[in-house]
Structure 1
Amino acid sequence: MSEADGIVYSDVKFTRTKRNTRGTTSSEAEPTYSEVRILKTHPSTELPGSQQHPVSNGGSKVTPERVVIVVLSALLAAAVIALGFTSLDNMHTKQSFQTLRDELEAVKRNLTERHCEVKSYNTVQQTSPQPPVVKENDPCLKCERGWEQDGRQCYYFSIDLLTWSESRDKCRQKGGDLVQIDSRDEQTFLELKVREKMKNDGDMFWIGLTDSEKEGTWLWVNGSPLNERLTFWSASGPDNWAVYNPDGEDCVMMGKKAGAPDLKCWFDEFCKYTRRSICEKPAETGHFTLQCV
């Protein structure tokens, strides 16, 4: 559209009064013309009530749905990483669990032995007129004088030289029996003690194992059979050597003075030979009167 299209001309007539030289005003009017230019504006083509929307610049829109997806993806990745670290920790934990449990059992045994304190009979008689009730798992258990304790068992290492049968009778008189070995730990304890007490290689100790009822069938003194997976025979035993004794070797002794401890120190022997012996009985409170602290 040209500039002329937007302009409208209009004539406006003004009247100016005319003075004469005498100072009076004449009634004649002198017309004056003036040009007025009016800019013609075009009405808006937009409909009433319509709103003008900004033109999109072509960029992508960030919607709430996309934000949620991004957050969930990040959380899932973090969870996968955490699971990987947890699995690795569990693997290391399983490898060391058995070792820790064994160490705990050793600590518990030491603490149990230190937990009990022997007090005099008169002192306890004043504080507790009734004898204490001994529970099955009571940790306050001790051995009488002359016996040596390992856990819940008491052992007596005799200095008397007797036959196997005589040794068993002596053990019974003391309230026990010839020792029955039920674990590797017990064998370790006994072997170390026997080494301390032996005077020479022949100074051995009877234990409660024999095959006198049936050759080759080894039984403990309580009648239970020997566990073949838990034996500690020496390299030469059992051989039932019958050169000097036709009856053979039906009783078992233990002991090894020389060499490093290797637990394999059982020997079958003629039951009529005289040896020292090991008696065994459970630890108990009995008349020893114990107090737990």
Structure 2
Amino acid sequence: MAMKGNANAKHHPDASWNVYEEMRGGGLEPLNTRTDVELQSSGHSKTANRRYRLAAVSLGLLSVVLLISIILLLINFNHLTAARDQLQTSYTNLTAARDQLQTSYTNLTAEKDQLQTSYTNRTAGLQRKLSSLEKAFVEGWRYFSSSVYYISTEKKSWSGSREDCRGKGADLVIINSREEQEFVDSLSVCKDAAVFIGLTDQETEGIWKWVDGSEPTTLYWMSGQPNNGGWTKQDCVVTGPQLGKRWNDKPCQNLQYWICEKKLKDI
């Protein structure tokens, strides 16, 4: 029976097909299925390799780009750092210059204020002197060189004459030059009388001194003078209206006109 069955299968035209179908129906693969799988696996491997290579190349390019970017950033950072340092130096220099200018401005302002104060004080002083001069001229003072002079309208002793001069902020006249002597002569001529001047030897007999303690450098004694007046004590000097040498020693208690002198710096 078995042989009969096989014989029937051998001679049946669809026998091989049926066998194939039976194999498929039984879950079996045809013989060429392994080859197909291997081909598919090989294709997947090649694709994966290409992807890996592409990824590696991309990663390398990214690394290069990143490295270049880092280098550029470092270069730019160095440039910015140098620029910052330069700006800091400029700022420091400008700050120092500003401080120096501020100091100079402060000093100049203080100097200006000092000059302004000095100017104000000097102006006020000159104004006072001008007012004093105007008053002095009204009161009969006469100007010569760097002083003003006053000839009295009454007679007093030498000490009384000096006291009057001091009350006016002056002192008896001190004659220091020929020109000043001639000016004093012109004032005494107005009175046509001898007038007391600030020369005396009351402190030490024979040592003539001006009222400021100095000794005369030029003498204008009349002939035979000083003679101390014989029995009278003559320790004070007058200058007379006569021409030539005009000094004469007289008793200090004599009553005479006198001439006061006030320096402009004392006005």
TM-score for both structures, normalised by structure 1 = 0.45
Give the greater-gyration-radius structure (CA). Answer: 2
TM-score for both structures, normalised by structure 2 = 0.49
Q: When you count helix as a share of all residues, which structure comes out higher? A: 2
Q: When you count strand as a share of all residues, which structure comes out higher? A: 1
